[in-house]
Chain A
Amino acid sequence: MNEVIGWQWLRPMWLWLLVPALPWLALYYVRSLSDFAAWQRVFSLLLRIVVVSALIMALAGLIVLVGTERQMIVVAIDRSQSIDDAAWESAMKTARDLRDAVRDAEDVEARFLLFDQTVGQPSSDVENLFRQVAHQPNTASQPDRESDQPIGTATADDDDDSVNERRTNVTEKTPQPQSGESAYAHDEPRQGTDIALAIRTAIASIPPSYVPRVVLLSDGNTTRGDPIVSAASGGVPIDTIPLPDRTEPEVQLASVSAPAQVRQGEPFYVEVTVNATSAGEGHVDVYRGDVLIGDANAKKVKLKPGSNQFRVRQTVTDQRQVTFAARARGFGDADTLLDNNESSALVTAAGRPKILLIDPDTDQTDSFRWALDEQRIDVEVRPTEGVPRSLTELQGYECLVLSNVPATAMTTRQMDIIRTYVQDLGGGLVMLGGDQSFGLGGYYRTQLEEILPVRSNFEKEREKPSLAMVLVIDKSGSMGGEKIELAKDAAKAAVELLGPRDSIGVISFDGSSYWVSELRSAGDRGYISDQISTIQASGGTNMYPAMSDAYEALNRASAKLKHCILLTDGISSPGDFEGLSSEMSASRMTISTVALGQGASEELLQDIARLGGGRYYFCDDPQSVPQVFAKETVEASKSAINELPFLPQLVRPTRVLEGIELDLAPLLLGYVVTRPKPTSEFVLASEAGDPLLVWWQYGLGRTVAFTSDAKARWAAEWLAWPDFGPFWAQVIRHAMRKSDSQGIFVELQQRDGSARIVMDAVDDDGLFVNESETVATVIGPRLKTEKIQLQQTAPGRYEATVPTAQQGAYQIDLAQTRLGNQSVRQTRGLVVGYPDELRLRPINRTTLQQIATSSGGRFEPALDSVIQTDGRTARMPLAMWPYLLMTAIAAFIADVAMRRIDLTTS
């Protein structure tokens, strides 16, 4: 049914041409000199009027509006990861049936588009879309960015002629993408479903001259947006066709539920929910931190189809924050998607403060631990290997105490974690002295030295013996890139750590040996550093000549201490290394060796170090080379330790040590020499004036340096001192995180890739706290820190939204400064699991029904009824200019005939 319902002029001003034109024709008709018969002249005039009028109407853009029932149906097909192969087959069949039905029908056109969390472009060639899908990976792998055409993108050879045939000369086109061009990024294909976006895109792609209809093929499970709202506000009927339920066997660890906050010692349950589409047998492992709860060889559990729940009773007695994680494994063919088999929850426990003490000699820590226990501070002791590897783990403690732990025992990431813990989460750090602490531990220029209140480099005393040191650095081709650059940095740092009376030389080697900088005074730092910068990696590996050159140079040196550091990442050409090492040792030289990476000849280097009286290091990560060089340099110079007994000297009285009778403090037997940083609080000093106890505020946290120790080596007499316990309790309480969370109630809501923080704050009287500055420090799984100001949104309520796009644990530290600078803070953890798309959910028929109802469409319609017209009409504009021009031409020819042929005579 096409009927004219009106007309419009595109350029109506051109109709004014008729005003002069028609009188012009009439004028010259009246004044005509033609001798044709009057009726012939009149007829000629009429024809001329028709010609001119048709031309002017064409110029004025006459458009006839035709009411039409021709439909455009856009079929939106869900291609998200929740759609399994069987459902996809069903979707393709339905789409093909629709295409065939449309082909056979009149006045109906169809477009197809695919969607997941993004939406492709509509195309009339459904087979082309399916071909593109067939070439896409069926997993959550990253897309090929060089050919990332979105799913559903139509190609340039879209050849459905039926579409073009029905086009009028006033064309209306659905947008088609350019060849090789993407309308949107498609970073994580299929890991989400945005039905609302699909509906909006489908509706937008229908030109106004068609009666619109959208058909949605989906499971109804959306991970973002509100499809019902989009459907209701779109103004287009949406027919929804649910895809079949998932038939692929699947096991999904749906959730791990545990109370967010418990009291220490309070029992609670960790509930694990596992959903399965079919019965199966496998393991469900529950971990507390890194430790498996229960028996590693436990029997398999049997899952029934549907929801399966398991409960584990737990208590937290000795930690502040514990992660409970669960993993489903071993279900074999019963599990298709493996990305949804893990989930975790964080539990925060309130109770006595707890600190973590890392000490290589754990058996010497009893006195310290007992003393703090008496002061109601729990201490967990771990050896050096126990330095926390994740922020979540470290968050379980109020303070970290490093006692004689070298920097070489930590990775740079571990040091980053500690810095973040102090700076952004308000944790405390105490470093105790020892022969592996401060400069002796290789902390020079590390992240920890940055946050500590003392520096590891210092003015070497005149009475200390001078040192001659040669650095022998491998510059073979395999050292290229980051390795050689870090080695150069390490060498430069070593130069900076030496005093003017020390001397240093640098040899690099590949197949041969080269003096980068001859042995010269370390006071000439600038020159030596410049020379080190010139080292370029290339060539083979022959260490012996370089080592020999080092020996000769050191042999000529007059320094009392002579040391050589060898660094290589490969296997050297043969040489008499044992003989040379022994010879150097006999000449009172020491040799330390550094193996960089797995390819180094570890055995040879160990032997050289052993024979040379030095130390051997293995650095799997080139980032740790600078720490090794710094540690070796300070250790070799033998100037950083002062082992003369001394009485602590109070430099700056402080309330922190109130009640401690420092005058009665016994002797300490040694300390590590350091230099206080300018803004630190220098509290206790040695008799030589070197720092003994220094602290400062770093970011939100506090760090303390105590350059002597708290065990028998240097503090043997202190262990019996009555104030030993109170002294350490007060120092550690000063350093530890202040967790005054009185009157703060925090709620975290996670949705659509972001977390909403809602914090309610009341004072001691229960009244709402208003207009207080509130800041959230959010630390992501990759330690990226972001500070966000919470905005007050209601009396006592503060809110902010933080993006949580990455999977993993987020730490959120909330700090509120109230009147009188009183501040309260609370730290909360949040674990972001796998994407919602991977959640096993049944077909959401309710949503699909509501989409249909709210838009005026139908739920599960028969395909025949989809293409039937429903009485709605659209206005189809029809441009009349071609017809008008043809009319003008025809009339003009008739007019010419009328003026050339005398019809009266004939």
Chain B
Amino acid sequence: ELASEVVQSVRDGDEISLVSAGSTVSVVVGTTDFAPAVAEAIKELTPTDGPTRMIEAIETARRLALDDDKRRVMLVSDFCFEGAAKLGDQPDIDLLPTTDVEDQPANAAITMLQVRRSLVDPIGYSGLVQVNNFGSEPIECRLTLKLDGSLVDVVPVALDSGDSMRHVVTDGSRQGGVLTAELDVEDALVTDNLARAVLPRRPPIPITLVSDEPSLYLESVLTAIPLVELTVATRVPKTSPTGGITVLHRIVPKTLPSGPLLVIDPQDSSTLWSLSQPVADPIVVRQEPKSPLLPHVRLTNVVLPGGRGLQIDQDHVPLLTAADGSVLMASLNAATGRTLVLSANLNDGDLPLRIAFPVLMTNAVNWFLGREGDIQPAQLTGERITVAAKASENESWSWIDHFGNQRMATAEDDAVTLGVVDHTGIIQLGPTRRVQDYLASLGGPKAASASNRNAPDQPKTPGTLSKLKATLADDDAPPSETLRQVAVNLSRAEESDLRPQLPAGQGRAVRQAGWSLHNLWFYLALLATVLILTEWWLYQRRIVA
């Protein structure tokens, strides 16, 4: 309404443009003196969940009207952004606040939600959520965390005005999914009461155990490690399984398999190590304190029967050392892959019965596979979103927005750029062919719409796509197996803080630029009308002959 008032204040001969400052700055209507076009465009403006890019919008407006003396930039905003107060000092800017600048609306917001996989627990994850209270009154509410709809945690929230709290949630899930955080609070802005983050799925870990005799202990320990899919074999493979490990128990082939290799109780030397005579007193007297293989493992003073000293020529890390200095366990980065060698007979000692052994094996699996705390960061509305993804050459990528529109993405250098996303929620991304197949499977058009450019934020055919929109907007909807999910949140403190940044007294009503609203012809025509009506009266009553 305020913007419409501005349009109405435009005089004959004035020119006007309409620039919107949402997630992106765009010139909605170019410079024109036909004000109704602008008035119509104002009615069609739709709000986004993105941040206010007012400074960029002002720069754009100034580029559209270069004459400093004649330009007026009318800012219609709630002025809830940093630097708003300083804008009033600029001579070509009029501030038109949409709300009372002294209003302090209550608003609590989730200003951060991210989740990532644990470095040490194969199925573990850690989520970080931050809640801010931007209102002038304290709030008490609940924060509910769910993973793919299953309750994970409920956190009581009690925050004074201006305070914030962070909460770390730690749990386990093999499948991953969408972690949602929701505040059950009624406040001025609903969008920031819900945030989402995508927890990546952990793929299974194939382990091939090669042994010349059954080892119940070893099989049980390996099987018990989450995600491990164990295969027992008697013949040594040439390579370790993709994304997995080969475990050699008491077997040393002439040619070691390539890839990650765990060797337990080797009976012979190989190209990587040579074995000395059995250690007379195989008590562990020292273990490497900083190795990632030995956290939470205490093996000092533990006897490793059958242990033989390992002699390794290349650069290696001695992990367990006996009293006579013999190395009983060592790790190395061999040319064939990471290798870990443990010289101890599992059947003779009590090592497999100790709690340290499964921990050691779990550490080993993590070390072999080099866990990096996988994360698919939740993105922010209004920011250029780039997602790490390997795209084949000449393969185009697309994504599906919240209205079921297919949008183009740019795939380059192991990254896919989506551009700026206006609305919060989960979007899906993938090669264009897969995106089209997915849309078709949901009942959308087979080749939806690179061409729906004139209304990119609206479903092109409401009848067909409204169902699709509803499906895609529903967090409980089954995600595509072939597409990647990307969470988009508002999660921005400056956007959730609805307290106007203008000092009281700043901002003013709409006013026209000069005293005269119309051109001279208008007043002449008005005078002519009056004279003609008067002359009609004078003539008809014969006052003038």
Contacts and interface: CB of A to CB of B under 8 A. Distances in A.
A779 interface: no
Contacts of A31: 540-541
Given A48-B532, A765-B296, A178 B66 contact: yes
Contacts of A181: 66
Interface in A806-836: none
Interface string A1-13: 0000000101000
B212 to A, nearest CB: 34
B460 interface: no
Given A59-B529, A764-B295, A795-B127, A175 B540 contact: no
B394 A846 contact: yes
B287 interface: no
Nearest to B528: A55
A24 B34 contact: no
Contacts of B55: none
A177 B126 contact: no
A375 interface: no
A48 B541 CA distance: 16
A679 B50 CA distance: 51
A797 interface: yes
A253 B4 CA distance: 57
A477 B126 CA distance: 72
Given A170-B33, A172-B33, A850-B410, A204 B64 contact: yes
B128 A770 contact: yes
A209 interface: yes
Contacts of B377: 793-794
Interface residues of A, number: 80
Interface stretch (A354-362, A490-498, A654-662, A853-861): A853-861
Best-buried of A56, A177, A226, A855 by chain B (most CB within 10 Å):
A226
Contact of A34 (B29, B296, B537, B542): B542
A21 B529 contact: yes
Interface in B391-419: 394, 396, 407-410, 417-419
B454 interface: yes
| Chain A binding surface, main DSSP class | mixed
A849 to B, nearest CB: 9
Contact of B525 (A58, A770, A847): A58
A173 B70 CA distance: 15
A905 B27 CA distance: 67
B31 interface: yes
Contact of B540 (A29, A226, A236): A29
Interface stretch (B111-119, B183-191, B241-249, B466-474): B111-119
A24 B533 contact: yes
Contacts of A241: none
B451 interface: yes
A63 interface: yes
A877 interface: yes
Contact of A899 (B63, B128, B539): B539
B200 to A, nearest CB: 13
Contacts of B456: 232-233, 235
B301 interface: no
B536 A25 contact: yes
A856 B315 CA distance: 59
Contacts of B537: 24, 28
A655 B153 CA distance: 48
Interface in B519-543: 521-522, 525-526, 528-529, 532-533, 536-537, 539-542
A172 B296 contact: no
Contact of B408 (A10, A51, A203, A228): A228
Interface in A852-906: 853-856, 875, 877, 881, 885, 888, 892, 899
A723 interface: no
A598 interface: no
B396 A856 contact: no
B114 A794 contact: yes
Given A25-B533, A766-B119, A234 B30 contact: no
B115 to A, nearest CB: 7
B417 A17 contact: no
Given A33-B540, A853-B408, A770 B450 contact: no
A31 B542 CA distance: 11
A226 B384 contact: yes
Contacts of B394: 846
Contacts of A229: 384, 408, 410, 417-420
B168 interface: yes
B24 interface: yes
Contacts of B532: 48, 51-52, 55, 892
Contact of B417 (A8, A170, A226, A771): A226
Interface residues of B, number: 70
A190 to B, nearest CB: 20
B37 interface: yes
B63 A235 contact: no
B510 interface: no
Contacts of B451: 856
B36 A885 contact: no
B453 interface: yes
A24 B540 CA distance: 11
A480 B375 CA distance: 63
A226 B419 contact: yes
Contacts of A24: 533, 536-537
Interface in A732-782: 742, 760, 762, 764-768, 770-771
A794 B116 contact: yes
A141 interface: no
A627 interface: no
A885 B528 CA distance: 10
B529 A32 contact: no
Contacts of A796: 116, 126, 373
Given A52-B533, A183-B63, A850-B408, A766 B126 contact: no
A553 B260 CA distance: 87
A364 interface: no
A233 B456 CA distance: 7
A796 B375 CA distance: 11
A173 B118 CA distance: 59
Nearest to A879: B34
Given A55-B525, A55-B529, A765 B454 contact: no
Interface string B103-123: 000000000101110111000
Contacts of A58: 525
A23 B223 CA distance: 99
A177 B31 CA distance: 14
Contacts of A48: 532, 536
B114 A59 contact: no
Contacts of A200: 26-27
Interface in A178-233: 178, 181, 183-184, 200-201, 203-209, 226, 228-229, 232-233
B60 interface: yes
A138 interface: no
Contacts of A56: 529
B89 interface: no
A232 B35 contact: no
A52 B541 contact: no
A795 B419 contact: no
Given A204-B60, A208-B29, A771-B166, A34 B34 contact: no
Contact of B541 (A28, A232, A795): A28
A117 interface: no
Contacts of A29: 540
Given A48-B536, A229-B417, 6 more contacts: A172-B30, A183-B66, A206-B30, A232-B450, A236-B453, A792-B128
Interface of A: 8, 10, 17, 21, 24-25, 28-29, 31-34, 48, 51-52, 55-56, 58-59, 63, 170-178, 181, 183-184, 200-201, 203-209, 226, 228-229, 232-236, 266, 742, 760, 762, 764-768, 770-771, 792-797, 846-847, 850, 853-856, 875, 877, 881, 885, 888, 892, 899
Q: Which are the 3 A-B pairs with shortest beta-carbon distances?
A: A229-B419, A794-B114, A204-B27
